[in-house]
Amino acid sequence: MSLTARLIKTAIKWTPERLITMVANLVLKGIAKVSAFNVDLGQRTLCVEATLYGEKESIILQLSHFALHPQGEGYTFILGQAESNRPWLNNLLRHVVGKGLPVPQIPQLAPYMGLALELIGPQKGSD
């Protein structure tokens, strides 16, 4: 793994949850309020708790075993497991879990896709 990828993983690990939720809430103002956020790229887990604008109860979303895979000239994202506290969202997630979702080729992001592959590419022994 490159030095850049290791530094990014460390920065993500050390970034306080409070800072992440504050920034997320600025971006999502009027849409949702994030009350908890936890990501572990090493374990490939992400957990978010958010309340949609106008709703009283929060939604908890847990994603795990996700990875970016090279495929031909592009990339595919595979979500291994996903679960929420909402039946409708679990039904929706069943349609994408385990399936290769093509990542759109965006010219501005092309130089960073190799780094993204280093950060969340297939884990050793999974291919």
Percent of the chain with pLDDT over 70: 98
Percent of the chain with pLDDT over 90: 91
Residue-wise pLDDT tens digits, 85-123? 999 999 999 999 999 999 999 999 999 999 999 999 998
Q: Where are the domains of the chain?
A: 3-120
Question: How far is it, in rounded angstroms, from Cα 69 to Cα 56?
Answer: 38
Residue 127: pLDDT over 70: no
User: 17 and 38 in contact (C-beta within 8 Å)?
Assistant: yes
Q: In terms of pLDDT, which residue wins out, 1 or 77?
A: 77
Residue by residue, DSSP assigns 2-53 as -HHHHHHHHHHHHS-HHHHHHHHHHHTTTTEEEEEEEEETTTTEEEEEEEET
Question: At residue 8, what is the residue type?
Answer: I
- CB neighbours of residue 108 within 10 Å: 6
Binning pLDDT at 50, 70 and 90, where does residue 124 land? confident
